[in-house]
Chain A
Amino acid sequence: MFEKSLWVFHLNSGSCNGCDIEVLNIFAPRQDVERFGIKLVGSPRHADAIAFTGPITRESLPKAVEALKAVPEPKLLLAIGSCACGGGIWYDTYAVIGGVKEFYKILKEEYNIEPPTTIYIPGCPPKPEAIIYGVALARKAVKQKQKKEIYIEELNEDMRREIAEILFSEAKGTRHFLPNIVVKTKEGEESES
């Protein structure tokens, strides 16, 4: 999808700075991702991707929506850090929305916007290597290692079909990068994708 240079607009949606300095860190000499054509830009209108750091506070919500709207299609959202991924430690306090998943609900209900393709980079803060890996994933430069695992003691034919249906409907209903799915049973492993 993004095989060439990825320009990123970095939006601090209520982060503690930890993720922000790690995002800046990947542009410093040790990692220097500009050599891959990744660049921070000053306006969302110039960006291919928007990077959220922080649990999205009540105050920053309208601004985050505006910024996301301004990014041209096709767009990508990088949720950097545990807070952006799922709200982190503040997931249910009065002052925050609670991560991009809640943000997408609000986007759909109140603004009627389809959520963009999303890459989740958890960690508190994620290491620079993890952030680079996430971006590389978006560019299809690496294969996704993460798997969704389901453990079932005994598996019969009906259940197998049922599970497969649920998983595929999950995959259809979302534009997110779906992890490879492995169903584990007592006898061994069976994989679907």
Chain B
Amino acid sequence: MILDILRKNDAEVIRHDERLIITSVPNEKLEEVAKELFSANCYYATGVGVDERGMSQGFAIYHIFNSENEGKYIVIKTFARNLTIPSITPVIEGANWAEREAMDMIGIKFDGHPEPERLILPDDWPEGLHPLRKDFPYNKRPPSIKPKSRVKKKDPNTIEVPVGPYHPALHEPESFELYIKGEEIVEAKYKGFHVHRGMEKLAESRMTINQIPFLAERICGICGFTHSCAYCQAVEDAAKIDVPERALYIRTLLLEIERIHSHLLWFGVVFHLLGFESGFMHTWRIREDFMNLAEILTGNRKTYGMNLIGGVRRAIDESKKRKVMRIVEGSKRDTVEIFDNVMGMRELLNRMENVGVLPKKEARGIGVVGPTARGSGIDTDVRIDHPYAAYGELEFKVPVYKTGDVLSRVLVRYEEVLESFWIIEQVLDQLPQGDIINENYKIPEFAIGLGATEAPRGEDVHFLITERENKVYRWHPRAPTYNNLPALPIMLVGEKLADAPVIIGSIDPCFSCTDHVSIIDAERGKILWKGPLNEGVRTWGG
């Protein structure tokens, strides 16, 4: 069905196998193809702008779609004509950020984009400098220019409450402007990313292909392993490397340990935001065991440094297996005990029930991923839809709740933790013998690869083009928070100000993941929803 759509629109299929379709679509047909794919239940994953002057004929954009029904990713490549590509944002809302990112970093213009303004770079960055072009040196630090001052509209009936960028309720620099009437939030603006470190440029210029797994791990200190895993999968996909089964099982084990530690950390943060300090202390006490476990297995509590292209660095022996089993058993008991108590605390549940509701329809439109989507009744999980590592051979359930409030997101994560315990037990039970790495490979030139994993926060997509001499031509990671953030204004509007921290916390935002590429500008990163929630009309942009 997807192939029919592509063929109908003169698309040239470059690669087609069971997990990836890569096509090249003519400039003028792009909008048509995007529209038809979107109506064929393919949702928009990300878009990558590439400066292809080094490999072919100029600038191009790769739009990536995810078809859950067919279990395939679809990559659509379009060349720019006079640096211009027709925008697909009018058809697919989710493409908004991706296109503006390409506008900033590569300098491609998008014809028909509703708000063609700067998205990524800081306000004091000079015009006309695009860091991801190949002729821009990675270590150039242009002098600041004076940013244009913005005029703020003031409504005398509302009060502005700035939250962040450094705020006691948030542990990362991000900033929200909440406009309140009485205690009710009438408008929420998302502002200023602060963690843009120039990672993609660094990878493309200073580093080699087998150093980048360690760089990818430093995208995020909480879910780093899943990023390095997605990167390795992208290279293995591009170069057609067979990974030994034992390595795949070890990756799965570590991915699940990371998921448990991340979710337990998140429970602690949410309990802390709700004022339930002893809950915070208890979940972090359980989590500490998993940090030690990671140290036993990998040598470091965080940033494991385990992934290499073609396998992993350390094996797991019998004594380590026994230690893992012992810790998992004890932690499972503790987790269940705490949640039994939490579910009996009416005062805590009342603060989560029917708070920060994200309806299914809105969720689908924005394309939220991970537990945020599963809390709103969308059954999506990369582990099932596009099996990777050893997930294809393991048995597990994906919890889905329909109410879409904070409580449902808590419950989804709680059940996921229990499933993760079960996956770890299966992995240890079935762990095959053999090699842990396949070092016998050759990286082809200008091959395209795509790796996707289910991070604790949702779908994590890495897109990659290889180059000769062990280098990467283009690498673009897309973290789950990138898709989940636009849902926040919908959750926040109409709620009490006191609930704002827990609603923001409930999507488990990870700003370091998202910001590796983006810095969102104050006026333009916003989504407005004025008026009461039930009769609200959502308007995009200024």
| A residues in contact (CB < 8 Å) with B | 10-22, 24-25, 28-30, 40-43, 54-55, 57-60, 63, 67, 88-90, 92-96, 124-125, 127
B303 proximal to A (CB < 8 A): yes
Q: Given known contacts A94-B139, A95-B196, A127-B301, is B201 in contact with A63 (CB within 8 Å)? A: no
- Max chain A CB contacts within 10 Å: which of B122, B138, B166, B222? B166
| A49 to B168 CA separation, bound complex (whole angstroms) | 15
A-B interface pairs (CB < 8 A), number: 139
Nearest first, the 8 A-B pairs at minimum CB distance are: A18-B221, A42-B168, A93-B198, A17-B221, A28-B284, A95-B198, A92-B139, A60-B194
Interfacial chain A residues near B166, Cβ < 8 Å: 11-12, 63, 67
Contact with A along B259-301 (1 / 0, CB 8 A): 0000001001000000000000110110110010000000001
A63 touches B173 (CB 8 A): yes
B303 touches A125 (CB 8 A): yes
B281 touches A90 (CB 8 A): no
B171 touches A20 (CB 8 A): yes
A21 touches B288 (CB 8 A): no
Contact with A along B105-132 (1 / 0, CB 8 A): 0000000000000000010110000010
| A88 to B268 CA separation, bound complex (whole angstroms) | 29
Nearest-CB distance from B277 to chain A (Å)? 10
Interfacial chain B residues near A90, Cβ < 8 Å: 197-199, 202
B209 proximal to A (CB < 8 A): no
| A155 to B291 CA separation, bound complex (whole angstroms) | 48
| A43 to B167 CA separation, bound complex (whole angstroms) | 8
- Max chain B CB contacts within 10 Å: which of A40, A42, A67, A92? A92
Interfacial chain A residues near B512, Cβ < 8 Å: 14-17
Q: Which of B195, B197, B218, B510 sits near A93, CB closer than 8 Å?
A: B197
- Max chain B CB contacts within 10 Å: which of A16, A25, A89? A16
B221 touches A94 (CB 8 A): no
Nearest-CB distance from B60 to chain A (Å)? 23
Nearest-CB distance from A95 to chain B (Å)? 4
Q: Given known contacts A16-B220, A17-B220, A124-B303, is B284 in contact with A29 (CB within 8 Å)? A: yes
B221 touches A15 (CB 8 A): yes
Besides the contacts A17-B171, A28-B284, A58-B196, what 14 more A-B pairs have beta carbons closer than 8 Å?
A: A11-B166, A15-B512, A16-B195, A16-B220, A20-B221, A21-B302, A25-B284, A25-B288, A60-B173, A88-B218, A94-B198, A95-B198, A96-B197, A124-B303
B197 touches A95 (CB 8 A): yes
Q: Please classify how large the interface on chain B is, using the bins under 10, 10 to 19, 20 to 34, 35 or more.
A: 35 or more
| A10 to B220 CA separation, bound complex (whole angstroms) | 18
Interfacial chain B residues near A12, Cβ < 8 Å: 166, 171-173, 194-195
Nearest-CB distance from B480 to chain A (Å)? 14
A57 touches B194 (CB 8 A): yes
B219 proximal to A (CB < 8 A): yes
A16 touches B224 (CB 8 A): yes
B130-183 residues at the A interface, CB under 8 angstroms: 131, 136, 138-142, 165-168, 171-173
| B residues in contact (CB < 8 Å) with A | 122, 124-125, 131, 136, 138-142, 165-168, 171-173, 192-199, 201-202, 215, 218-222, 224, 265, 268, 281-282, 284-285, 287-288, 291, 301-303, 510, 512, 519
Can you show 18 pairs from A to B with CB atoms below 8 A apart? A11-B173, A13-B173, A14-B196, A14-B197, A16-B224, A18-B222, A19-B221, A28-B268, A29-B284, A58-B122, A58-B125, A59-B194, A89-B202, A92-B139, A93-B139, A94-B136, A94-B141, A125-B303
| A25 to B287 CA separation, bound complex (whole angstroms) | 10
Nearest-CB distance from B156 to chain A (Å)? 29
| A98 to B424 CA separation, bound complex (whole angstroms) | 39
B202 touches A15 (CB 8 A): no
Q: Given known contacts A16-B220, A20-B171, is B281 in contact with A57 (CB within 8 Å)? A: no
A16 touches B218 (CB 8 A): yes
Nearest-CB distance from A192 to chain B (Å)? 36
| A13 to B202 CA separation, bound complex (whole angstroms) | 19
| A29 to B301 CA separation, bound complex (whole angstroms) | 17
Nearest-CB distance from B147 to chain A (Å)? 11
B218 touches A60 (CB 8 A): no
A28 touches B281 (CB 8 A): yes
| A101 to B141 CA separation, bound complex (whole angstroms) | 17
Nearest-CB distance from B209 to chain A (Å)? 16
Interfacial chain B residues near A58, Cβ < 8 Å: 122, 124-125, 196
- Max chain A CB contacts within 10 Å: which of B140, B201, B202, B224? B202
B198 touches A96 (CB 8 A): yes
Interfacial chain A residues near B201, Cβ < 8 Å: 93-94
Q: Which of A10, A15, A18 sits near B195, CB closer than 8 Å?
A: A15
| A19 to B131 CA separation, bound complex (whole angstroms) | 28
| A29 to B283 CA separation, bound complex (whole angstroms) | 10
Q: Which of B131, B197, B301, B510 sits near A55, CB closer than 8 Å?
A: B197
The residue of chain B having its C-beta at the shortest distance from the C-beta of A128 within the complex is B301
Interfacial chain A residues near B202, Cβ < 8 Å: 89-90, 93
| A41 to B167 CA separation, bound complex (whole angstroms) | 10
Q: Which of A17, A57, A124, A127 sits near B196, CB closer than 8 Å?
A: A57
Q: Given known contacts A30-B285, A57-B194, is B173 in contact with A125 (CB within 8 Å)? A: no
Nearest-CB distance from B275 to chain A (Å)? 14
Interfacial chain B residues near A125, Cβ < 8 Å: 221, 301-303
Interfacial chain B residues near A21, Cβ < 8 Å: 221-222, 265, 302
